[in-house]
Structure 1
Amino acid sequence: MSSTKAPVIALRGSGGPKSLAGSVIKPAFSVVDLFSGAGGFSEGFRQAGFEILAGADNDPDALATYALNFPDAEIILGNICAPDIKERTLSAARSATVLVGGPPCQAFSQVRNHSRVIDDPRNALYREFVETLREALPLAFVMENVTGMDQMGVREQIRADLSLDGEYEIVAQVVDAADFGVPQTRKRLLFVGVRRGTGMSPPVLAGSGAADSIALARFTGSRRPRYQLTVQQHILSLRIGEALQDAENLIAVSAMQAISDLAALPVGNRNDEMSWEELAGPTSAYQRLMRTGAGNVLTNVQVPRINKDTKLRLKGIPQGGNHRDLEERLLERFLTGQRWGQDNGTGRLSRKHFYAYRRLHPSIWAWTLNTKADSVYHYQAARALSVREFARLQSFPDRFVFTTDSRRGPIEGRHDGGPAHSRYRQVGNAVPPLLAKSVAQLLMAELNTYREREEVRARTG
Structure 2
Amino acid sequence: MSTVVNVLGDHVVPVGSDADGGALTVVDLFCGAGGLSEGFRRAGYQVTAGSDHDPDAIATYAANFPDAVALCGDVRDAELREQLDEAAAGADVLVGGPPCQAFSQVRNHTRLIDDPRNSLYREFVSAVGAALPDAFMMENVPGMAQMGVKEQVMTDLSLDGEYTVVPQLVDAADFGVPQTRKRLLFLGVRTALSAEPPTLVGTGATGAVQLVRFADHSAAVGGTTVSADAPIPGYVPTARPDARGERVALALADPFDPSVVSVEQALGDLTALQTGRRAETLSTSELPDPTSAYQRMMRDGHRDELGNVSVPRMQADTALRLAGIPAGGNHRDLSEQLQARYLTGAKWGPSNGSGRLGRAHYYAYRRLHPEMWAWTLNTKGDSAYHWSSARCLSVREFARLQSFPDSFTFTTDARRGPLTGRIDGGAAHSRYRQAGNAVPPLLAAAAATVLRETVLAARARRDATLRS
**TM-score higher than 0.5:** yes
| Deviation of 1:337 (Å) | 1.1
Residues in 2 aligned to 1:256 and 1:33: alpha-carbon distance in whole angstroms: 32
| Matched ranges for 1:319-330 at <5 A | 319-330=327-338
- Give the equivalent residue in structure 2 for 1:8: none
2:199 alignment partner AA: V
Match of 2:174 among 176, 179, 183: 179
1:361 alignment partner AA: H
Match of 2:311 among 299, 303, 307: 303
Q: Would the alpha carbon gap of residues 314 and 16 (structure 1) be closer, same or farther in structure 2, given more than 3 Å must change?
A: closer
Residues in 2 aligned to 1:143 and 1:54: alpha-carbon distance in whole angstroms: 16
Name the SS of the counterpart of 1:309 in structure 2: helix
The question of 1:235 aligning with 2:236 is answered no
Match of 1:374 among 366, 382, 388: 382
Structure 1, 212-221 or 409-418: larger mean CA deviation: 212-221
The question of 1:117 aligning with 2:125 is answered no
1:28 alignment partner AA: A
Structure 1 residues without counterparts, runs of 5 or longer? 1-12, 19-24
Q: Would the alpha carbon gap of residues 127 and 302 (structure 1) be closer, same or farther in structure 2, given more than 3 Å must change?
A: same
Question: Is the contact made by 1:14 and 1:28 (CA closer than 8 Å) also made in structure 2?
Answer: no
| Matched ranges for 1:287-436 at <5 A | 287-436=295-444
- Give the equivalent residue in structure 1 for 2:252: 244
| Deviation of 1:440 (Å) | 0.5
Residues in 1 aligned to 2:170 and 2:247: alpha-carbon distance in whole angstroms: 20
Residues in 1 aligned to 2:273 and 2:90: alpha-carbon distance in whole angstroms: 44
Give me the TM-score of the superposition, normalised by structure 2.
0.92
The question of 1:448 aligning with 2:449 is answered no
Name the SS of the counterpart of 2:90 in structure 1: coil
- Give the equivalent residue in structure 2 for 1:39: 34
- Give the equivalent residue in structure 2 for 1:22: none
1:413 alignment partner AA: G
| Matched ranges for 1:52-201 at <5 A | 52-201=47-196
| Deviation of 1:407 (Å) | 0.3
Q: CA offsets, 1:48-71, max 9 Å, x none? A: 110111000000000000000000
- Provide the identity percentage: 59
Question: Is the contact made by 1:274 and 1:301 (CA closer than 8 Å) also made in structure 2?
Answer: yes
Q: Would the alpha carbon gap of residues 134 and 308 (structure 1) be closer, same or farther in structure 2, given more than 3 Å must change?
A: same
- Give the equivalent residue in structure 2 for 1:4: none
Q: CA offsets, 1:131-174, max 9 Å, x none? A: 11111110000000000001131000000000011111111010
| Deviation of 1:224 (Å) | 4.1
2:243 alignment partner AA: I
Question: Is the contact made by 2:384 and 2:393 (CA closer than 8 Å) also made in structure 1?
Answer: yes
Residues in 2 aligned to 1:383 and 1:110: alpha-carbon distance in whole angstroms: 43
Q: CA offsets, 1:197-244, max 9 Å, x none? A: 213221101110000000001122652421111101111221111000
Residues in 2 aligned to 1:105 and 1:381: alpha-carbon distance in whole angstroms: 38
Question: Is the contact made by 1:323 and 1:357 (CA closer than 8 Å) also made in structure 2?
Answer: yes
| Deviation of 1:269 (Å) | 2.0
- Give the equivalent residue in structure 2 for 1:216: 211
Structure 1, 38-47 or 439-448: larger mean CA deviation: 439-448
| Deviation of 1:261 (Å) | 0.3
Residues in 1 aligned to 2:105 and 2:275: alpha-carbon distance in whole angstroms: 43
Name the SS of the counterpart of 1:43 in structure 2: helix
Residues in 2 aligned to 1:14 and 1:390: alpha-carbon distance in whole angstroms: 31
1:15 alignment partner AA: G
2:88 alignment partner AA: A
Give me the TM-score of the superposition, normalised by structure 1.
0.93
The root-mean-square deviation of aligned C-alpha atoms, in Å, is 1.7
Residues in 2 aligned to 1:28 and 1:72: alpha-carbon distance in whole angstroms: 14
1:331 alignment partner AA: Q
- Give the equivalent residue in structure 1 for 2:8: none
Residues in 1 aligned to 2:339 and 2:402: alpha-carbon distance in whole angstroms: 31
| Deviation of 1:380 (Å) | 0.8
Question: Is the contact made by 2:15 and 2:88 (CA closer than 8 Å) also made in structure 1?
Answer: no
The runs of 4+ residues in structure 1 deviating greater than 4 Å are none
Residues in 2 aligned to 1:425 and 1:302: alpha-carbon distance in whole angstroms: 15
Q: Would the alpha carbon gap of residues 17 and 245 (structure 1) be closer, same or farther in structure 2, given more than 3 Å must change?
A: closer
Residues in 2 aligned to 1:343 and 1:362: alpha-carbon distance in whole angstroms: 32
Q: CA offsets, 1:36-88, max 9 Å, x none? A: 00000000000111011100000000000000000010111100001001111
Name the SS of the counterpart of 1:112 in structure 2: helix
| Deviation of 1:26 (Å) | 5.2
The question of 1:437 aligning with 2:438 is answered no
Name the SS of the counterpart of 2:169 in structure 1: strand
Structure 1, 206-215 or 92-101: larger mean CA deviation: 92-101
The question of 1:15 aligning with 2:16 is answered yes
Question: Is the contact made by 1:108 and 1:150 (CA closer than 8 Å) also made in structure 2?
Answer: no
Name the SS of the counterpart of 2:382 in structure 1: helix
| Number of positions where the alignment pairs a residue of Structure 1 with one of Structure 2 | 442
Name the SS of the counterpart of 1:339 in structure 2: coil
Residues in 2 aligned to 1:164 and 1:384: alpha-carbon distance in whole angstroms: 46
Question: Is the contact made by 1:14 and 1:27 (CA closer than 8 Å) also made in structure 2?
Answer: no
Residues in 1 aligned to 2:298 and 2:30: alpha-carbon distance in whole angstroms: 25
Residues in 1 aligned to 2:409 and 2:21: alpha-carbon distance in whole angstroms: 30
Q: CA offsets, 1:289-332, max 9 Å, x none? A: 00011111100000101100000000100000000000111001
Question: Is the contact made by 1:314 and 1:382 (CA closer than 8 Å) also made in structure 2?
Answer: yes
Residues in 1 aligned to 2:109 and 2:264: alpha-carbon distance in whole angstroms: 46
2:118 alignment partner AA: N
Q: CA offsets, 1:325-363, max 9 Å, x none? A: 001110011001111112321111111011110000000
Q: Would the alpha carbon gap of residues 412 and 280 (structure 1) be closer, same or farther in structure 2, given more than 3 Å must change?
A: same
Q: Would the alpha carbon gap of residues 254 and 74 (structure 1) be closer, same or farther in structure 2, given more than 3 Å must change?
A: same
Residues in 2 aligned to 1:65 and 1:148: alpha-carbon distance in whole angstroms: 28
